[in-house]
């Protein structure tokens, strides 16, 4: 075992560089690294013009990623998503707005799909704590299942609602 980190490789249809620029514009501690290009070798297999971007290495908050221009064979679905944990409602609003602009789509329970079809979960850091307490978890879950973008104050209020006795 080499002990090296795991790097997600995201498959795009000729939008790898655009996607890397988009993602690094959203996350403050981010950068684009090496960009590799298709050569004339293998054209009969990959069909890409020489000089076209093959991969873009980039980092988001210190997490390495690779964006690959692999063609139209595969696309993203909700089976894989990335969680962005947020301390404040302002952070949640910031990421939510960035991912939903220019073709992104809101979903339920803090999930959003960006303009490339990649799914993100915009999660308040307090949510796992609220869900850990079995007496509060049901009320918190009932609240966030009604939401698209998660609202920290409403989740806290749900967690502290008194039990109804029948």
**134 confidence band (pLDDT: 50, 70, 90):** confident
Cα 24 from Cα 61, distance rounded (Å): 9
Same domain, 37 and 58: yes
Residue 46 has pLDDT above 90, yes or no: no
DSSP string, the chain: ---PPP--EEEESS-HHHHHHHHHHHSSSEEEEEEEE--STTHHHH-PPTT-EEEEEEEETTEEEEEEE--TT----TTSEEEEEESSHHHHHHHHHHHHGGG-EE-STTEEE-TTS-EEEEEETTHHHHHHSHHHHHHHHHHHTT-SS--HHHHHHHHTPPPPP-
Same domain, 64 and 87: no
Q: Is residue 95 part of a domain?
A: yes
State the pLDDT at residue 164.
Answer: 54
92: tokens are 């949640």
Q: Is residue 4 part of a domain?
A: no
Q: How many domains is the chain partitioned into structurally?
A: 2
pLDDT, tens digit, for every residue of 4-24?
689 999 999 999 999 999 999
pLDDT, tens digit, for every residue of 68-99?
999 999 999 999 999 999 999 999 999 999 99
Same domain, 24 and 91: no
Same domain, 88 and 46: no
Q: How many Å separate Cα 117 from the centre of its chain?
A: 10
- Average pLDDT estimate for 29-51: 93
What is the pTM (predicted TM-score) of this model?
0.89
Same domain, 154 and 92: yes
**2 confidence band (pLDDT: 50, 70, 90):** low
State the pLDDT at residue 163.
Answer: 59
């Amino acid at each position: 075992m080499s002990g090296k980190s795991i790097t997600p490789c995201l498959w795009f249809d000729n939008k790898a560089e655009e996607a890397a620029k988009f993602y690094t514009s959203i996350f403050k501690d981010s950068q684009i690294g090496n960009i590799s290009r298709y050569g004339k070798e293998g054209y009969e297999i990959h069909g890409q013009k020489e000089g076209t971007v093959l991969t873009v290495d980039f980092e988001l908050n210190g997490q390495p990623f690779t964006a690959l221009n692999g063609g139209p064979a595969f696309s993203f679905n909700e089976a894989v998503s990335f969680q962005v944990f947020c301390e404040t409602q302002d952070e949640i609003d910031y990421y939510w707005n960035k991912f939903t602009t220019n073709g992104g789509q809101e979903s339920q329970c803090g999930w959003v799909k960006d303009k490339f079809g990649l799914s993100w979960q915009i999660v308040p850091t307090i949510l796992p704590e609220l869900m850990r307490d079995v007496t509060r978890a049901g009320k918190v879950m009932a609240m966030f299942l009604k939401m698209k973008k998660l609202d920290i104050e409403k989740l806290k209020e749900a967690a502290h609602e008194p039990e109804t006795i029948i």
